[in-house]
Chain A
Amino acid sequence: MRLTATVALLCAVLWAVPGASAALALLRTEILSAPWQLLTAHFVHYSTVHALIDSAVLVLCTALAERAFGCGPTTVLILLGGVLLSLGALWLLPFMQEYRGASALATLLGVTVALRTAQQAPSRRPCIALLGLLLLATLLRDAWPQAHRPSSLPDGVFVAWPVHALAIALGMAATRFLPTRKIDITR
Chain B
Amino acid sequence: MRIFILLGFALSLLLGGCATVLDDHTGVKQNGSVVDYLYPNSKESPSLRPGLTTLHPPVRVGIAFVPVNAGTAALSENDRTQLLERVKASFTGYAYIDSIQIVPSQYLREKGGFENLEQAARLFNVDLMALVSYDQVQFNDTSRLSLLYWSIVGAYVIKGNRYDVHTMVDCAVFDVHSHQLLFRAPGTSQVKGSATLVGFGEEARNGRRAGFDQAVADLLPRLHTELDTFRERVRTDAHYQIEPQAGRGGGAFDLWELLLALGLVAVTKRTRAR
Contacts and interface: CB of A to CB of B under 8 A. Distances in A.
Contacts of A164: 251
Interface residues of A, number: 60
B257 to A, nearest CB: 6
A60 interface: yes
A161 to B, nearest CB: 9
B251 A117 contact: no
Q: What's the interface size class on B, roughly?
A: 35 or more
11 contacts: A50-B250, A56-B258, A60-B262, A67-B268, A103-B257, A110-B260, A124-B267, A150-B253, A155-B242, A156-B56, A160-B251
A164 B270 CA distance: 27
A8 B257 CA distance: 18
B96 interface: yes
Interface string A152-186: 11111111100110000000000000000001110
A184 B273 CA distance: 9
Interface of A: 42, 45-47, 50, 53-54, 56-57, 60-61, 64, 67-68, 89, 93, 95-107, 110, 113-114, 117, 120-121, 123-124, 127-128, 131, 134-135, 138, 150-160, 163-164, 183-185, 187
B244 A156 contact: yes
Nearest to A67: B268
A54 B252 contact: yes
Given A103-B253, A154-B96, A156-B96, A96 B248 contact: yes
Contacts of B274: 121, 123, 185
Given A68-B268, A121-B274, A99 B250 contact: yes
Contacts of B254: 53, 138, 150-152
A62 to B, nearest CB: 11
Interface in B255-274: 255-258, 260-265, 267-268, 270-274
